[in-house]
Amino acid sequence: MTGASVQALAIGLALAGSAGYAVAAVTQQRAAAKLPSAAAFDAGILLRLLRARLWQLSLIAMTAGFGLQAAALATGRLVMVEPVFPATLLFALLLAARAEGRWLRHAEWTAAVATVGGLVLFLIAAQPSGGHSTAGVAALTGAVVTAAVLAGLSHLLAHRFVAAHRALMLGLVGGVGAGVTDALTKTVAYVVSRHGIEVFADVRLYLLAVVGIITFTLQQNAFRAASLSASLPAYAVLEPVVGSILGIVIYDENVGLGAWHIILEVLAVAVAIWGIVRLAQQASSALVATAHTDVAAAEPAARRPADLDGAAPPPTGTDGTAHATADGSGASSADGATGQPGGTTCTALSADGSAALPSTDAATTRPPA
C-alpha cells in the first residue's frame, strides 16, 4: 500500500472507532437515564449499571471503538489520526437525536460543529512533540489527587444544580479526569511494552485504575442527569486540553508556542467553549419543556374525584333519601349512609311506603311494623 492509502485506511479506522464510541455513549446514556435514584450523585452507579443488560451491551461497542482507534494510531500518523477522534461527538449527538425520533436542529448542528471544529483546530495547533516516555509517581499522584478532589466537590455540590447544569458540571470534571487518565495510560502502556507483567508491581497501574473508575462514575452520573448534549461536549473538549497541559507539565512535551499557534489555540478553545455552552442551553431548554409537558399532563388527573373505582353512586331522590326497591326494601349508598356526614344512619322504607325509624347500624334496617 502507498503512503496515501495507508493514511486513508488509518482515517477510516479512526472514523469507525469514533462511531463505536458514539454508539457506546448513546447506549450508556439511555441505560443510565433509566436508573431510579433520588440522589443527585450516585457514587455506586457503576455497580447498578453492571446489572443492566443495555449497559453491558454498550461495553462491546466501547471495546470495539477502542480497538479500532488503537489500530488507527498504529497504522497512520498521529497528526492525521488524532483530529478525527472528535467526530465521536457529532456521531453521538446525531444518534441520540435519532433515538429520540428526531433530527438535530439547526442550532444544535451549529453548536456541535463549533465544538468539534474548535477541538480539531486546537489539536492541530497544539500538536505535542518530544518529551519523556514516562512520568514519575509523585507527579502522576498529584494529578490523580487533583482529579479526586474535583470529583469529591462535584459530589457535594451536585444537588445544588438543576439537571442540565449538573450534567455540564460533571462533564467538565469528568473531562479533567479523562485527561489525567490519558496521562497515566501513556506511562502504563510504555511500562507494559518494556517490562510486561512487571507492571503489576508498579503503583502507577493502580493509580490508573483509581482515576479511571472516578472518571467513569462522573461520566455515567452526567449521562443520568440529562441528555448527551449537556455533558459529552464538555467532556470531549476537556480531555485533550487537560491531556496537553499534563503533557507539557509532567512529560516535558513541546507544543506550538509561537504567536500564531497561541492565537489559534486560544481561538479554538473559545469556539469550543461557545459550542459547549450552546449545547448545554439546548439541553436545559429541552428538560424545561419536558417538565412543563409532564405538569400539564398531570393536571387533569389532579382534578379527578377521590373515588376512582368507577362505581356509580347509589340512586337517590330529590331530597337525598334512598329510593325504594321493587320489593319495598330500602336502597342505601355504597357505605350504607344517606349522604349525611359520617354515614352512620340510613332510612329504610316499610312495605306500605312509610318511613321507618332511622337505624343506628348502617348495615341493618328495622323490619316493617
pLDDT in tens, the chain (369 residues): 667 788 788 889 989 999 999 999 999 999 999 988 778 999 999 999 999 999 999 999 999 998 998 888 777 776 677 778 888 888 998 898 888 888 888 888 898 899 889 888 888 887 767 788 889 999 999 999 999 999 999 999 999 999 889 999 999 999 999 999 989 988 998 899 899 999 999 999 999 999 999 999 999 999 999 888 889 988 988 888 888 888 888 988 877 667 788 888 889 889 988 988 888 787 767 655 555 554 455 555 555 554 444 444 555 544 444 444 444 444 444 444 444 444 444 344 443 444 444 444 444 444 444
Residue 262 belongs to some domain of the structure: yes
C-beta pairs of 41-50 under 8 Å, 24+ apart in sequence: 41/154, 41/155, 41/158, 41/159, 41/170, 41/221, 42/221, 42/224, 43/155, 43/217, 45/217, 45/220, 45/221, 45/224, 46/213, 46/216, 46/217, 46/220, 49/220
Residue 326 belongs to some domain of the structure: no
Give the domain range for residue 193: 86-290
Tracing cell 457514587 back to the chain, one arrives at: 43
Residue 163 belongs to some domain of the structure: yes
Residue 185 belongs to some domain of the structure: yes
Look up the pTM and report it. 0.71
* Residue type, position 206, single letter: Y
Residue 98 belongs to some domain of the structure: yes
* Strand, coil or helix: 324: strand
Residue 11 belongs to some domain of the structure: no
Residue 23 belongs to some domain of the structure: no
Number of domains in the chain: 1
Tracing cell 479500532 back to the chain, one arrives at: 68
